[in-house]
A and B are shown apart, each in its own frame.
Chain A
């Protein structure tokens, strides 16, 4: 089954404790992306990657890191989480280029930072 998977689905952590949210897709997609969703603010792009070893900042990259060492994986790293990073996070993938208008989303990770 074609899908994007994220882990963990739910995470409660404390300020400053490094964490990684994994994302994997099995569709051989070139384009992968991370979004955060907050009430009233819609979906905001954090980082995106157009291919292996190519990553770019989205609209809200501060406090986040990503890496794309393999085509299928695109982990999101929070080196020192803060309470303002409490949010719902989505990973997404697409075929790339002008076909990136159709993105496939993972189930989401709800993160709470206390």
Chain B
């Protein structure tokens, strides 16, 4: 089956850099997406990697390596407002289903 694994929780301090990993066992997908979800809120789209390599959007960067079945989200200059859950997701070629990872809860401390 298709699955995406993430660490359940990551902690860091303000101003630090944190990397959230996503390893997957799936094939035939368009690319890797990342979503952010604050407590009590809805998921919001952060970034997308269609090709291998690094994509940068402000303080956030995302990376994909299809050969390693691996991706990550890199958050720099962490702020308290970055405390949230982060999900990776892939869109299947064959079914057009969007499959989400298990989610990583990031806690940023002062």
Contact = CB atoms under 8 A, between A and B. Distances in A.
A82 to B, nearest CB: 24
A36 to B, nearest CB: 11
Contact of B48 (A42, A102, A106): A102
A32 B10 CA distance: 31
Interface of A: 31, 33, 35, 40-45, 48, 50, 56, 58-59, 90, 97-98, 100-108
Interface string B78-91: 00000000010101
Interface of B: 8, 30-31, 33, 41-45, 48, 87, 89, 91, 95-103
A102 B45 contact: yes
Main SS class of interface, B:
strand
Nearest to A48: B97
Of the listed residues A48, A50, A105, A106, the one surrounded by the most CB atoms of chain B closer than 10 A to its CB is A105
A31 B96 CA distance: 9
A101 B99 contact: no
Given A42-B101, A90-B43, A100 B31 contact: no
B42 A105 contact: yes
A31 B81 CA distance: 30
